[in-house]
Amino acid sequence: MRSETVKDMAGKVLTKLVDLDPEPKSRVEGGGQAGPTSGRDHGNLSRLRSSSLEIKEKEIREKGSEILREQLDAAKRELKLKDKECERLSQVRIQLEQELEELTASLFEEAHKMVHDANVKQAAAEKQLKEAQGKIDVLQAEVTALKTLVLTSTPSSPNRQLHPQLQPSGTRGAYRHVRNKSASGTFPSLPGKPEPSSLSIQPVTKEDREMDSVLYAEFLMWKENPSVERSSAFLSRTYREDIGPCLSFTRSELSQLVQSAVENNSLTIEPVAMSTLPMVKASAVECGGPNGFRAAIETKCALSGMSRLCRHRIKLGDKGSYYYISPSSRARITAVCNFFTYIRYIQQGLVRHDAEQMFWEVMRLRREMTVAKLGFYLTDQG
């Protein structure tokens, strides 16, 4: 393409040079001496043409060289840009590889941590399961004991007056009046009143009961969110009317400690051997028992301050001190403990009865506290 352009340009130059020199033609036409002159002119023209072609070729080569240099510079600049782009992409690749390695390491570390946490939680759950199973066994035993307490006033002496079903079959329907031997000699006969032995004995009648709407409404409100706190109207009334008076003894300071221990479920009542009782009077009394006679020593009750036959002692929490109590004091404390045990069972969801049955059982426990605070209690009959 370039050689054709060069030839065209050389042809145009030669044409212009021929047009500029008309003299040889006129000489040939007019004088007749065209031979030597025309030959000489022709040589000059050839030299001129060759020099012109060389100049043109030189200019063309220079222009071609400039164009090639420009293209080479452009190619070099483009190569530099490509090199920079490749370098940038290499850095991006290296950065991505590092981030990928860090992400993989963090993922493995996180997975290892999750597996470790899962193993720890599984071990803790298994431990809690074992503890829960142990608590369930204990609660089942307590429920069995509670059912026994519902049918009896104390585990050792069934309340046959309140539960006729515990009496022998031959004496269930006969009479309900039972006279306490110890009380017969304590209260003298009043003038105009018949002797206890001459009192008419009434046959057994069915016990009627009527629900108090105010007490039942307070119990239902407490049952929606059961708690042993005395902030509710139900427990506030029970504290005021039953628990407080039942645990109000002569020794007021110890009475408060006993009440706190009962509320915290940290009170312990246990029978004691007669040999361990601190003697106040040296005289011994005889008490009937299933195996004959047994001796008991009168000692001073820690709550009432009176000398009584103290066959039990109490312990408050983890303290090492023991306090000897009389049967009457024990009956009052036991009645309050039975009440707290039952409402704790309701709070823990262990009682499956309806609300009305729960209410009447609570009223029965309140009646036990009322009877106990008046001084009535059952003794072992053997």
- Percent of the chain residues topping a pLDDT of 70: 66
Cα radius of gyration rounded to whole Å, the chain: 61
Q: Give the per-residue pLDDT at 138.
A: 82
Select the highest-mean-pLDDT range: 123-132, 170-179, 234-243.
234-243
pLDDT band at 35 (very low <50, low <70, confident <90, very high): low
What CA–CA distance (Å, rounded) separates 350 from 138? 12
Q: Give strand pairing partners of 295.
A: 286
335 pLDDT exceeds 90?
yes
pLDDT band at 203 (very low <50, low <70, confident <90, very high): low
Tens of pLDDT, residue by residue over 242-255, are 999 999 999 999 99
Q: What letter represents residue 314's amino acid? A: I
Please return the burial class of 272, using the count of CB atoms within 10 Å of its CB with bins 0-12, 13-18 and 19+: middle
Mean per-residue pLDDT of the chain: 76
Tens of pLDDT, residue by residue over 155-197, are 445 445 444 444 544 444 333 333 333 333 333 333 444 444 4
Q: Where are the domains of the chain?
A: 50-149, 213-274+297-374
Helix (H) or strand (E) holding 287: strand 284-289
Which 8-state DSSP code applies to residue 175?
B
Structure tokens at 258: 């006993």
Better pLDDT: 3 or 311: 311
CB distance 268 to 334 below 8 Å = no
26 pLDDT exceeds 50?
no
370 pLDDT exceeds 80?
yes
Q: Give the per-residue pLDDT at 142.
A: 80
Task: Out of 13-27, 44-58, 78-92, 208-222, pick the least confident.
Answer: 13-27
CB distance 329 to 304 below 8 Å = yes
Helix (H) or strand (E) holding 316: strand 312-316
Q: What letter represents residue 350's amino acid? A: L
Structure tokens at 98: 């590092």
74 pLDDT exceeds 50?
yes
What CA–CA distance (Å, rounded) separates 330 from 326? 6
285 pLDDT exceeds 80?
no
Q: Is the dihedral of CA 115, 118, 122, 128 positive or negative?
A: positive
Q: Give the per-residue pLDDT at 37.
A: 57
Q: Give strand pairing partners of 203.
A: 175
Read off the pTM.
0.46
Q: Are strands 307-309 and 292-300 parallel, antiparallel or unpaired?
A: antiparallel
- Nearest Cα residue to 296 out of 312, 306, 309, 280: 309
DSSP letters spanning 5-33? HHHHHHHHHHHHHHHH--HHHHHHHHTS-
What CA–CA distance (Å, rounded) separates 208 from 257? 38
